[in-house]
Amino acid sequence: MRRLALLFLAGLIAVPASASENRASRKVRAAEEVLKLSVTAPDRGIPKDLLERVECIGVFPGVKKGAFVVGGEFGRGVFTCRQKDGTMSSPAFFTMGGGSFGWQFGGQDVDFVLLVMNEDGMTHLLKDHFTLGGELSAVAGPVGRTAQAATDARLHAQILSWSRPRGVFLGASLEGTVIHPDRKATTAFYGKPFTAREILVDQKAPVPKAAEPFVRMTTEYARRPS
C-alpha cells in the first residue's frame, strides 16, 4: 500500500509538469502558424526585406484582452535569434504585459509579431526584462511586399511590431509593454532552466523535435541574400 501511495503521489507531481510541457509545445506550434500567416498574407504581410535584416523574431499568439492588467502578464510567446551561420536559434519563451490599452480589439484574441532589427535591440532582449518604447525604440511595422515606403523612424527602430486582429496584419504600437523571460515555460519545454542568453546566443539548448518546424521556417524566412 505504501508503494502504491508513493507511485500515486509521483503521478500527481508528473502531471502538472507534463501539462506545462504540452502548453509550451502548443505555443511553439501556434507561433509557427502566426508567423507563416504574417509573411504570406497577400499584400498585407510583413515585408520580406525586413525579415532578411532581422536579428531576432518574436511571436506572441492569442493574446487575450480579458487578461489585460496594468503591470500583469497578458501574453506568452517565443523569440528566436540569428546565429553566426545564419540559422535561427531554438525558441526562448517570454511573457509580455502592461503597456498601452489603445490597441485592444474587443474581446478577440490578437496575435503579435516583433522583429528585433539590430544588436542593440538584441542586447535588451537578453536582459531580465525590458520596456518597449522606454529603454529602446519600438514602432509599428509597415505592411506590404517591401519596406521601401517605410519612414526613416521605422527603418532605424530597434524593434518593429505588428498585430493581427480580425485576420488582418497591422502595424501595432506596444508603447510601455514590458517583456521578460518565461522561466516556467522554458524549464517545462527543455527540462532545464536555461536563460534566454543560453538559448538565443550560446546555443546551449538543442532544438527539441517539437520546435524543429518553427526553427526551419524562421531560418528560411530570415535567410539573407548570398
pLDDT tens digits in sequence order for the chain, 226 residues long: 445 444 433 444 444 545 666 899 999 999 999 999 988 887 778 888 889 999 999 999 987 654 444 434 478 999 999 999 999 999 999 998 875 544 444 456 788 999 999 998 999 899 888 888 776 778 888 877 655 545 555 667 899 988 887 666 677 778 788 899 999 999 999 999 999 999 999 999 999 999 999 999 999 999 998 7
**What pLDDT is attached to residue 101?**
45
The three-state DSSP-derived secondary structure of the chain is CHHHHHHHHHHHHHHHHHHHHHHHHHHHHHHHHHHHHHHHCCCCCCCHHHHHHCCEEEEEEEEEHHHCCCCCEEEEEEEEEECCCCCECCCEEEEEEECCCCCCCCCCEEEEEEEECCHHHHHHHCCCCEEECCCECEEECCCCCCCCCCCHHHHCCCEEEEEECCCCCEECCCCCEEEEECHHHHHHHHCCCCCHHHHHCCCCCCCCHHHHHHHHHHHHHCCCCC
Classify residue 91 as left (phi > 0), alpha (psi -120 to 50) or beta: beta
Distance CA 133, CA 131 (A): 6
CA dihedral 144, 147, 153, 154 (to 10 degrees): 60
**What pLDDT is attached to residue 109?**
75
**What pLDDT is attached to residue 44?**
75
pTM value is 0.82
Break the chain into its structural domains and give their ranges.
2-221
Cα angle for residues 134, 62, 95 (degrees, 5° grid): 40
**What pLDDT is attached to residue 170?**
73
**What pLDDT is attached to residue 49?**
86
